[in-house]
Amino acid sequence: MTGLGSRLFYKVGKLCEQIPVFLNTFLVFSITGEVSYLVLVEAPLEAEQQKTTWSSWWKALHLLGQYFMLGNICWNAFLFLKVSPSIKGVFLGGNGLGQGWRYCYTCETHTPPRCSHCYDCKVCVLRRDHHCVFFGQCVGYRNYRYFLCCLLFMWLGLLYAMVMNAEVFIVILKEGVTLHSILLLLIPWIMLVSGQVSAWAFTFAFIADTCVVGFLLVSAFFFFHLFLLFRGQTTREWYSSRRPYNLGLVNNLRHMLGLRWYICWLSPLIPSPLVGDGINFQVTGSLEPCQ
C-alpha cells in the first residue's frame, strides 16, 4: 500500500511539473488567436480603408509578422526542451583537474567549472544558469541560445499584442473611468461569475490584462538575462557576485550564442556552432566570491 501511495504521489508530482508548460502554451495560443481576430475582424482602419487593397496588404503583413513570432517562440521552445544541457553523454575526463572542478556526490563524478547539480532534473548541468519552472528544464551551455531567443520573441510578441489590444482598453474606458470598467480590467473573473459582463467581453478583457502582465514579467526576465549575457555571467554567478569569465561584449555573445551570434536570433534554424566544449573556460578574474 505504501509503494502504491509513493508511485501515485510521484505521478501527481510529475503532472504538476507540467502545469506551467501547458498554461504557457494555452496563453500563447489564446493571445495569438485573439490578436488574429483583432487583425481580421476588428482591424483599426477607417471604414473607407477596409474595402481597399491596402486593407488586405495591411492584414497580411500583420498576420505574417504575428505568425513569424509565434513560429520562433514554438520552435525555440521545442529545441530548448529537446537539447539536453546535462553532462549525460559528455566525456568529462579525469586527468589534470584544475581550479573550479568539484565532485558531485549525487552523480558520483567530477564536474567542471560552472557546472552544478539540479535537484529537479536530478543531474549535473554544464554551465548551469538556472532551472526554468515555466519549461520544466534547466538552462545550460547547450540550450541557452534557444532559451534567450524564446524570451526575445515572447517579449516582441507581447509588445505587439499589447499595442493591438490598446483598442480593447479604449472600448472598455470609452464611457470614462467608472467602477465597472476598473473592475472589468482588474478582476474580469469576478465580473464574469457575478454576471456583470458577457463571456465575450470577459475574454477580451482577460487576454488584454494577460498581455500587460505577461509583458512586464517577460521584460524583467529578458532584460535581466541580457544584462547577464553582456557581463558573461550566469544567474548563479550573479548571486555570488563573480565575474571571472567576462571576455568582453563580443566574445561573451560568441560564447553564449555561438559563432553566428549576430544573426542566429532571427531563427532557430540558423546554425550557430558553440564556442568551446562547456567544460573548459577562459578565466579573466578570480574564481573566489567577492566579499
Q: Which residues are catalytic?
A: 132
Query: What's phi and psi for 278, nearest 5 deg?
Result: 80, 5
Entry field: residues in the chain: 291
Q: Which residues contact 186 (CB under 8 A, 6 or more apart)?
A: 209
Element (H, E) at 110: strand 109-111
Contact 244, 52 (CB under 8 A): no
* AA letter at 287: L
Q: Cα separation of 79 and 144, whole Å?
A: 10
Which residue intervals of 41-106 are DSSP H helices?
Answer: 53-82
Q: Please tell me the distance from the alpha carbon of residue 220 to that of residue 214, in angstroms, as a whole number.
A: 10
SS3 136: coil
